[in-house]
Structure 1
Amino acid sequence: MTDERKDRPRDAKQELAALEAAARPTFWGFLGCELVAAEEGRAAIALQVRPEHLNLAGIVHGGVLASLLDNAMGLVAILACPGDKTVTSGLNVHYLASSSEGLLTCEAALVFRSRRTLTLEGRITDNKGELLVWGSGTFRRVT
């Protein structure tokens, strides 16, 4: 049996829309991530802060920020290795400032690629452009 999707040409916009639709029922959608832009080696996603994203201090929970960073960098890894499964093998997160409302944007970029691993960096900013988080991650191709 052949995969008809491989036989039909699709443009990058369609591929990204399909990827985002597939991610909606996963943790990506549960968290509230939205695709902003993506191209080879780069991606940007956004998250509208909701009350469930806050910790008891009333600021966005560090786990939410780490997940946003991981999702953006993971998207870049997926796009860099089409057809392969990639997993996060390391994530470094530096919390620089806090936020409690508004739209957060995470931009991620591929820094280095070897045969089996990818190294990325990411930045999360608030709706005023203030840098909240800087991080790096390594991803491993498992297939």
Structure 2
Amino acid sequence: MKDGHTVDGYESLFAKAIGTFWGYTGCELVSMDDRMVVAALDVKAHHLNMFGIVHGGVYATLLDSAMGLAAMAARPEDMVVTSGLSVHFLTPVKRGRITAVAEIMLISGRTIMTKGTLTDEVGEACAAATATFRVLTGSTG
């Protein structure tokens, strides 16, 4: 979500996200469809660790959130939760905007596998990730 606007077709999903960790961290939705999500974050001082670079938890949060949204978009009537997350930290970021691109790799029964990449504002890869999501039975309601 950017400036209070949502991507067409996913308004109810983002209405739920406003007051959650997603909104608290400053994550923004750039684009979304049923196979791919692009999310971004403008790096602020509170995103940095004691060495003045973006904290690894921020990398993991943005990637997990983007990949989770991709999994939710693939199964909009179900609740999906992260069951595994692997992040590889490639390069540090000190400022600017970081962008995560998440894509569906596999949907099989109650398992969804995704991959994600995180880049800095000049397009350099900062991190790569994979995640597995468990589809829980029942509605997200």
Please report the TM-score for the alignment, with normalisation by the length of structure 1. Answer: 0.89
**Larger Rg belongs to:** 1
1:1-143 matches, within 5 Å, as 13-143=7-137
Q: Is the 8 A contact 2:7 2:32 kept in 1?
A: no
1:14 positional shift:
3.8
1:103 positional shift:
0.6
Moved over 3 A (4+): none
Determine helix, strand or coil for the equivalent of 2:115.
Answer: strand
Q: Is the 8 A contact 1:69 1:124 kept in 2?
A: yes
- Unaligned runs of 5+ residues in structure 2 are 1-5
- Unaligned runs of 5+ residues in structure 1 are 1-11
1:13 positional shift:
4.2
1 or 2, which has the higher helix percentage?
Answer: 1
Q: Which moved more, 1:91-100 or 1:14-23?
A: 14-23
Q: Which amino acid aligns with 2:134?
A: R
Percent identical pairs in the alignment equals 45
1:24 positional shift:
1.4
Cα distance between partner residues in 1 of 2:125 and 2:73? 25
Cα distance between partner residues in 1 of 2:53 and 2:14? 27
